[in-house]
Amino acid sequence: MSSPPVISIIDDDGSVRAATYNLVRSLGYVVHTFASAGEFLRSPHVNDTSCVIADVRMPAMSGLELQAHLLAEGYRVPFIFITAFSAENVRAQALKAGAHCFLTKPFTGEALSGCLDAALGARGAGSSE
């Protein structure tokens, strides 16, 4: 029996972090939360993360900068971006860099669940029928 995928949620807004944690945890995933990209990068969970859900705008290092950093280091973990400030150029940049989804806050649980299914399925960790 395989263990559930590990999802890392990175958002500087504590209430968004908590709500997203509760939703993703209810879907059966192992979930870790981080208040910043730096906190995530310093954690022991970088290597076991199956998918990253990250806010686009965060202090110090943005979600897009985190994605670029991980790609440069050779990590090919799927990304789902969430943002309260949807700008088409930012969305296009994220998707061009390989993001699986780009959700505008507030988003529905169904939308996030669908994004997780797509991201993990593309990674080969999706469920089989």
Domain membership of residue 50 (yes or no) is yes
Total structural domains in the chain?
Answer: 1
* pLDDT at residue 129 greater than cutoff 50: no
- CATH number of the domain encompassing residue 24: 3.40.50.2300
* pLDDT at residue 125 greater than cutoff 90: no
Domain membership of residue 83 (yes or no) is yes
Average pLDDT along the chain: 91
pLDDT tens by residue, 63-102: 999 999 999 999 999 999 999 887 889 999 999 989 999 9
DSSP letters for 44-110: TTTTT-SEEEEES--SSS-HHHHHHHHHHTT----EEEEESS--HHHHHHHHHTT-SEEEESS--HH
Domain membership of residue 18 (yes or no) is yes
Domain membership of residue 66 (yes or no) is yes
pTM given for the model: 0.91
Q: Are 94 and 5 in contact (CB under 8 A)?
A: no
| pLDDT score recorded for residue 3 | 87
| pLDDT score recorded for residue 128 | 34
Domain membership of residue 47 (yes or no) is yes
Per-residue pLDDT, averaged over 7-36, amounts to 97
| pLDDT score recorded for residue 127 | 36
Domain membership of residue 13 (yes or no) is yes
Domain membership of residue 129 (yes or no) is no
Q: What CA–CA distances, in Å, run from 74 to 48, 51, 71, 99, 127?
A: 14, 15, 5, 15, 25
Domain membership of residue 128 (yes or no) is no
What CA–CA distance (Å, rounded) separates 6 from 120?
10
Per the structure, the complete domain to which residue 108 belongs is given by 6-123
